[in-house]
Structure 1
């Protein structure tokens, strides 16, 4: 995680409390070349890679967590979101927070955490493939 300083800089970028903010969560491949520690072949990307987690609010990067690719795309999302949401709520208590992610983040743990913490969410649902 980038830390509280980065969160504070993000919060100071707005002169007024925004009525709503959207936190985009995403994971993408970071290809590996060689035998780095944590090397894992990811079938979706068809390569050896890491699978970092990113959390953005608009152009502001709030989290960049390097992770191995042998975990679910949504792994540790709640642990990374919780301090970000807490920091935002301390400064902007009336701002609606929405978490947005693709189907890789449509997980019970994340949705339950959002519901328990008054955070709205928009998550994709993977379509069923034809047999």
Structure 2
């Protein structure tokens, strides 16, 4: 591996080539085990470093110096569909359309009949990603950050549903409404999970933008299954050292990440 990384440094091999190589390997596996659906979960993670690695910078969210790579996992299998090393100070969703576009195009071509669903937390609730999914005809369930307008719409429904005779019980409801953010070109379906813990008077809200046609309860349950993402990234870090960016050369660290994720994908 050391010789390979030295060659990477000498030839300046780029992550695009290794990413395509990973796709080809996965294509061979899926050709044996045909897939009819994919749940694509983009997410980011913090890689702490302790040196002068090129491209590393301070990330205020993680409160550390390092890198802030972007990943996309298949939520059904745990496979890493794409990984990209980025500077430490970039925002979670920066250039997510450029990142996700080639992944979607690849699987649209390879499995044209497959159902593809995008799922992401509020860091990925950018209009460009929603429009990408809609333009390509894919479904999505992406959490929204709460704001005054969302809270007002949900509270109006909560006021009608709160049962004062059951304040000693945990109350849970699922509802939906149409909502158009200032940055959106049109209104979209928003599903809301409404929880009122036992002994309290106020509901807690979770908002999810979606173009899925299933029930609000199903959308919420589907979204929260993305909690497995943390385990996927944790396994890649602890089992395959994907976060060990020890070289001072950025391109070398790019390739180290790709090799680590390739090994991760071959784990089973």
Q: TM-score normalized by structure 1?
A: 0.85
Unaligned runs of 5+ in 1: none
Q: CA deviation at 1:88?
A: 0.9
Which residue number in structure 2 is paired with residue 7 of structure 1?
23
CA RMSD of aligned residues (A): 1.8
Unaligned runs of 5+ in 2: 1-14, 148-268
CA distance in 1, matches of 2:21, 2:52: 34
Which residue number in structure 1 is paired with residue 98 of structure 2?
79
Which residue number in structure 1 is paired with residue 172 of structure 2?
none
Which residue number in structure 2 is paired with residue 99 of structure 1?
118
CA distance in 2, matches of 1:49, 1:126: 26
CA distance in 2, matches of 1:123, 1:67: 22
Pairing 1:17-32 to 2, within 5 Å after superposition: 17-32=34-49
| Segment of structure 1 superposing worse, 30-39 or 87-96 | 30-39
Give the secondary structure class of the aligned counterpart of 1:22.
strand
Which residue number in structure 1 is paired with residue 70 of structure 2?
53
Q: CA deviation at 1:10?
A: 2.0
Q: Tell me if 1:67 matches 2:83.
A: no
Q: CA deviation at 1:105?
A: 0.8
Would you say how many aligned residue pairs link Structure 1 and Structure 2?
128
Q: Tell me if 1:120 matches 2:148.
A: no
CA distance in 2, matches of 1:99, 1:49: 28
Task: Tell me which of the two structures has the higher relative contact order, counting C-alpha pairs closer than 8 angstroms and 6 or more residues apart.
Answer: 1
Which residue number in structure 2 is paired with residue 34 of structure 1?
51
Give the secondary structure class of the aligned counterpart of 2:43.
strand
Q: CA deviation at 1:5?
A: 2.5
CA distance in 1, matches of 2:33, 2:84: 29
Q: TM-score normalized by structure 2?
A: 0.44
